[in-house]
Amino acid sequence: MEYRVLGKTGLRVSSIGMGGIPLQRVDEGEAERIVNTALDQGINFFDSARGYTESEAKFGLVLRKRRQEAIIATKSMERTKEGILQEVNKSLKALQVDYIDLYQLHNVKSLAALDQVLGPNGALRGLIQAKEQGKIRHIGITGHVAEVLEKAITLGEFETVQFPFNAVELGPTEKILPLAQAHNLGTIVMKPVAGGAIPDKNLALRFLMEYPVSSIIPGMDSVEQVLENAAIGQKFVPLNDEERRQLQETIKDLGNTFCRRCEYCMPCPQGINIPMIFLLDGYWQRYNLKEWAQERYLAMEVLPDNCIECGICASRCPYGLAIPELIAKVNQRMGLRQ
């Protein structure tokens, strides 16, 4: 396995790490087999989140016993000091470990949210306290919005940044990655296969391996997937011309139907959270997390049937998504209770 330095943390992480979302949908026995196999194959970087329901607990079944072999990352959406201190304790309990290597502020979506976490009662203060107490070792941030991450990178408060990056979402390579490198932040690549939208995972991961990122973290829900993904980090084979052409075809096909969560379409005058609708639809269609996705979908304040087809969103989308039509289709899929 190729190991790369996680920026200023100094940790050496496997170039292929493991994202924790899919562990939610496997039983405990399968989760143990998956995580044990990952460690056996040299994968040492595991990323979970408070928001991924049972994911931390399932990682913990194995990682508490093989603690020295693992670098554990997790994250929370809490934005206050007190709130995140409680979340750190919950993570430690779920994972059954006495420290976490990397705790991240999860999905900081706007400059206002960034200001809040940086404030005197903000979550960053909580993480600094947790670090002083030895409960966590390093602090990072995750998100999808380039301008938020760009600002966060330059603050000097974070040691890592996690962002979506894949063959159809190349934006970060242009801005976030060089900036993160210049400030020596570790770079963690989420959504490496565009949430399952790129059908050939092998091509998608090998494409990313050529970039100077610290760890690429596909989700895995079977031992076979672990073996396939780990093999890419163990013996990297660059894409040949034919494979590059195939990937280009995929990118073209996904061009104006795949939401990159850049949020340029927002705000919608009707209050519809457009990127969230596409995100949950991805979980519904490609991640086999139908119940989980629909529960969150139906809990949203405003559903697509409130769309008045004003077209403002579509005119702002840099990728040309026909948003009103696409969200109406999503609503047909997920808008009715089963």
Q: CA 154, CA 98: separation in Å to the nearest integer?
A: 31
For ligand SF4, the closer CB: 73 or 148 = 148
Whether 62 contacts 38, CB under 8 Å: no
Q: Out of 66, 310, 325, 332, point to the residue binding ligand SF4 (CB under 6 A).
A: 310
Give min distance, CB of 150 to ligand SF4, in A. 17
- Return left, alpha or beta for 194; rule: phi > 0 is left, psi -120 to 50 is alpha, else beta: left
Biggest distance spanned by C-alpha atoms of the chain:
56
How far are the Cα atoms of 59, 90, 108, 218, 243 from residue 47, in angstroms, in the given order?
9, 16, 17, 10, 29
| Among the residue ranges 72-80, 105-113, 235-243, 313-321, the one whose residues contact ligand SF4 (CB under 6 A) | 313-321
222: its two tokens: 């079977």
Spatial separation of the C-alpha atoms in residues 76 and 87, rounded to whole Å? 7
46: number of CA atoms within 13 Å, CB side?
34
Structure tokens at 86: 């409680």
User: In whole angstroms, how close is the CB of 170 to ligand SF4 at the nearest point?
Assistant: 13
What residue type is 97 in one-letter code?
V
Contact between 272 and ligand SF4 by CB under 6 A: the answer reads: yes
Q: Using the rule CB under 6 A, which residue among 17, 164, 186, 324 binds ligand SF4? A: 324
Tell me if 194 contacts ligand SF4 by CB under 6 A. Answer: no
Which of the stretches 70-78, 160-168, 179-187, 318-326 binds ligand SF4 when contact is defined by CB under 6 A?
Answer: 318-326
User: Nearest-CA neighbor of 135 among 94, 82, 92, 74?
Assistant: 92
Q: Which of 11, 71, 209, 313 binds ligand SF4 (CB under 6 A)?
A: 313
| Contact pick of 118, 223, 239, 312 for ligand SF4 (by CB under 6 A) | 312
The three-class DSSP label of residue 122 is strand
User: Applying CB under 6 A, which of residues 311, 325, 329, 332 lies at the interface with ligand SF4?
Assistant: 311
* 3-state secondary structure (DSSP) of residue 128: helix
Alpha-carbon gap, residue 135 to 226, rounded angstroms: 29
Least distance to ligand SF4, CB of residue 107, Å: 14
CA pair distance 56, 286, nearest whole angstrom: 22
Q: Does 317 bind ligand SF4 (CB under 6 A)?
A: yes
Cβ closest to ligand SF4, residue 1 vs residue 314: 314
Say how many residues touch ligand SF4, by CB under 6 A. 27
Contact mark string toward ligand SF4, 241..270, x via CB under 6 A: ------------------xxxxxxx--xxx
Positions in the binding site for ligand SF4 (CB under 6 A): 259-265, 268-270, 272, 274-275, 278, 307-313, 316-317, 319, 321, 323-324
